[in-house]
Amino acid sequence: MNRLLFILSFLVFISGNTFGQSTNSSMELLREGSSKRKAKIENRMKSDKQNYWLGKVPVKDGIVTFERTINVPNKSKEQIHDLMVSFANQLVSSSEHPEVSQISVNDNTQGIIIGSIQETMYFKRTKWETDYTEFYYQFTIDINDTSCKITINNIQYRYEEQHEVDSSYLKAENWITDDEAFNKSKTKFLKEPGKFRRETIKRINEIFDSAEKSVKSN
Total-model pTM: 0.79
Residue 9 lies inside a defined structural domain of this protein: no
| pLDDT for res 172 | 98
Residue 200 lies inside a defined structural domain of this protein: yes
Could you report the per-residue pLDDT of 41-74, keeping only the tens digit for each? 667 678 888 899 999 999 999 999 999 999 999 9
**Torsion on CA atoms 19, 23, 25, 29, rounded to nearest 10:** 150
Q: Which amino acid is at 83?
A: L
The helix, strand and coil proportions of the chain, stated in percent and rounded to the nearest 5, come to 45, 30, 25
Q: Which amino acid is at 137?
A: Y
Residue 21 lies inside a defined structural domain of this protein: no
Find the domain containing 121 and state its range: 49-216
| pLDDT for res 17 | 55
| pLDDT for res 10 | 47
Mean pLDDT computed over 131-150: 96
| pLDDT for res 129 | 87
Distance CA 169, CA 203 (A): 19
Domain with residue 175: its CATH number is: 3.30.530.80
Average pLDDT, the chain: 86
Distance CA 196, CA 157 (A): 9
Cβ–Cβ under 8 Å, residues 100 and 111: no
Residue 160 lies inside a defined structural domain of this protein: yes
Provide φ and ψ at 10, rounded to 5°. -65, -45
| pLDDT for res 168 | 74
Sign for the pseudo-dihedral over CA of 158, 160, 164, 167: positive
Rg (CA), the chain: 27
Helix spans in the chain (H): 2-51, 77-93, 178-181, 191-216
Mean pLDDT computed over 185-195: 94
Per the structure, the count of domains in the chain is 1
Cβ–Cβ under 8 Å, residues 142 and 172: no
Residue 174 lies inside a defined structural domain of this protein: yes
Q: What percent of the chain has pLDDT over 70?
A: 76
| pLDDT for res 22 | 55
Q: What percent of the chain has pLDDT over 90?
A: 66
What band does 30 get if pLDDT is binned at 50, 70 and 90? low
Distance CA 175, CA 131 (A): 17
Mean pLDDT computed over 91-97: 93
Among 14-23, 99-108, 161-170, the least confident range: 14-23
Residue 41 lies inside a defined structural domain of this protein: no
More confident residue, 149 or 162: 149
